[in-house]
Amino acid sequence: MDGIEDHKEIQSTIARLITMCREFGISVVAEGVELAGQVDLLKPYQCDYIQGYYFNHALPK
């Protein structure tokens, strides 16, 4: 998700991809989310799952 906050083209592409996945019944996972701004941008797109360092670092087995 690096750069999503600064690039409207990336935001538009992500929105279209999520819409397409929804039309095909595919769940959407946004990976690599590290900043609150990235989470805020993804919420309106109704992404099914958001994961990344913003929520927690990788856990050991």
Q: Assess if residue 44 is contained within a domain.
A: yes
Domain that holds residue 18: 8-50
Structural domain includes residue 57 = no
> Is 2 among the domain residues?
no
Which of 3, 15, 6 is CA-nearest to residue 43? Answer: 15
* HSE value, Cβ hemisphere, 13 Å, CA-based, for 31: 2
Task: Check residue 27 and give its pLDDT.
Answer: 96
**Alpha-carbon gap, residue 22 to 24, rounded angstroms:** 5
DSSP element (H, E) containing 49: strand 49-50
Total domain count, the chain: 1
Higher pLDDT, 1 or 60: 60
Domain presence at residue 23: yes
Per the DSSP assignment, residues forming a β-bridge with 19 are none
What does the pLDDT read at residue 2? 76
pLDDT in tens, 18-36: 999 999 999 999 999 999 9
* 32-61: pLDDT as tens digits: 999 999 999 999 998 999 999 999 988 887
